[in-house]
C-alpha cells in the first residue's frame, strides 16, 4: 500500500509539477488561472470542513467574489479589490438577514474565514508575480520570486520530514500535529534557506544572496506555521485530508497550505527590499 501510494504521489508530481513551473515562469493569464483554480478548489474543500461544524456560508457568493478579488489583484486594481472585499462582507451579512434558518453567527463567521483565509492569502501569489510591474523590474523577476518560494516550501517540507524522523525528540505542537518536532522544524527552515540560496545562484539573479537567505527563512517559518494552522482546522473538523482530489496527496488545501502565510510574508519583504 505504501509503495502504491508513493507511485500515485510521483505521478501527480511528474504531471502537475512542470505545468505549475511553466505557469509561474511565464505568468500572465496562465498563472492567474492556476491561482484561481487552486483558490476555488481549496475553498470548496474548506466549505466542506465548515459543514462539519454546522457552518453553511453561501458558497456561490464566496466563489464569485473570490474571482473578483483575485482578478483585481492580478490587474493591480487595488481599489477594486478593496471595494470587492467590502461588498463581499455586506452581501454576506445581508444574505444571513434573509435566511430562514437561524445559524447566522456560524454561517457569517465561516464565510468570512473562508474568504480571508483562502482568497485573500492566496492572492499574494498573484501580487508577488505581478509586483515587478509596480517596481519597474523585469517581469520575469516575479516568476523567479514565486518559483523560489515554491521550491523552498517543497524543500522545507522534505527536510522537516527527514530531520524530524531521524533526530526528532521534542514535540512542536502535539495538540495540533503530534508527529511534528522542533528538530524537524529547524531542519525545515535550514532546508528552505539552502534551497533559496541555490535558486538565487541558479536563476533568481534579481535577488542578492542575503535576500535569498532571508526569504528562505521566512518561507521556513511561515510555511510551517501555515501547515500547522491547516492541521488545526482539519483536526477540529475530524478529518485526515481535506479531500482526495490529488491521489496520494489528499486535497488541494493539503498540498497548497504552506503558501497561505509564506507568500504574504515574502511579499512584504520584497516590497520593503525594493521600495524601502
pLDDT of residue 2: 45
pLDDT digits (tens, 9 = 90+) for 14-37: 667 899 999 999 999 999 999 999
What is the rounded distance in angstroms from the CA atom of residue 24 to the CA atom of residue 32? 9
pLDDT digits (tens, 9 = 90+) for 52-103: 999 999 999 999 999 999 999 999 999 999 999 999 999 999 999 999 888 9
- Arithmetic mean of pLDDT over the chain: 93
pLDDT of residue 102: 83
Which of residues 233 and 5 earns the better pLDDT score?
233
Predicted TM-score of the model (pTM):
0.94
pLDDT of residue 6: 47
Buried b or exposed e, range 252-276, using 16+ CB within 10 angstroms? bbbbbbbbbbbbbbbbebbeeebee
pLDDT digits (tens, 9 = 90+) for 161-175: 999 999 999 999 999
Task: Judge contact between 223 and 16, C-beta under 8 A.
Answer: no
Amino acid at each position: 500500500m505504501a509503495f502504491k501510494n508513493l507511485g500515485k504521489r510521483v505521478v501527480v508530481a511528474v504531471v502537475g509539477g512542470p505545468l505549475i513551473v511553466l505557469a509561474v515562469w511565464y505568468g500572465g493569464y496562465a498563472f492567474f488561472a492556476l491561482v484561481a483554480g487552486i483558490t476555488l478548489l481549496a475553498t470548496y474543500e474548506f466549505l466542506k470542513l465548515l459543514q462539519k461544524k454546522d457552518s453553511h456560508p453561501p458558497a456561490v457568493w464566496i466563489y464569485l467574489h473570490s474571482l473578483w478579488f483575485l482578478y483585481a489583484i492580478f490587474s493591480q486594481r487595488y481599489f477594486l479589490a478593496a471595494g470587492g472585499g467590502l461588498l463581499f462582507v455586506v452581501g454576506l451579512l445581508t444574505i444571513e438577514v434573509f435566511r430562514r434558518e437561524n445559524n447566522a453567527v456560524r454561517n457569517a463567521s465561516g464565510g468570512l474565514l473562508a474568504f480571508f483565509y483562502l482568497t485573500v492569502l492566496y492572492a499574494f501569489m498573484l501580487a508577488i508575480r505581478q509586483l515587478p510591474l509596480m517596481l519597474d523590474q523585469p517581469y520575469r523577476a516575479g516568476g523567479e520570486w514565486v518559483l523560489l518560494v515554491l521550491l523552498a516550501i517543497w524543500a522545507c517540507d522534505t527536510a522537516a520530514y527527514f530531520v524530524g524522523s531521524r533526530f526528532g525528540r521534542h514535540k512542536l505542537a502535539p495538540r495540533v500535529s503530534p508527529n511534528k518536532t522542533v528538530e524537524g522544524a529547524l531542519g525545515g527552515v535550514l532546508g528552505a534557506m539552502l534551497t533559496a540560496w541555490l535558486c538565487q545562484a541558479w536563476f533568481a539573479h534579481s535577488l542578492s544572496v542575503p535576500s535569498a537567505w532571508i526569504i528562505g527563512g521566512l518561507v521556513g517559518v511561515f510555511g510551517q506555521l501555515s501547515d500547522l494552522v491547516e492541521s488545526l482546522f482539519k483536526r477540529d473538523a475530524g478529518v485526515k485530508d481535506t479531500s482526495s482530489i490529488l491521489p496520494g496527496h489528499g486535497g488541494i488545501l493539503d498540498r497548497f497550505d504552506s503558501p497561505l502565510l509564506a507568500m504574504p510574508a515574502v511579499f512584504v519583504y520584497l516590497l520593503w527590499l525594493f521600495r524601502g
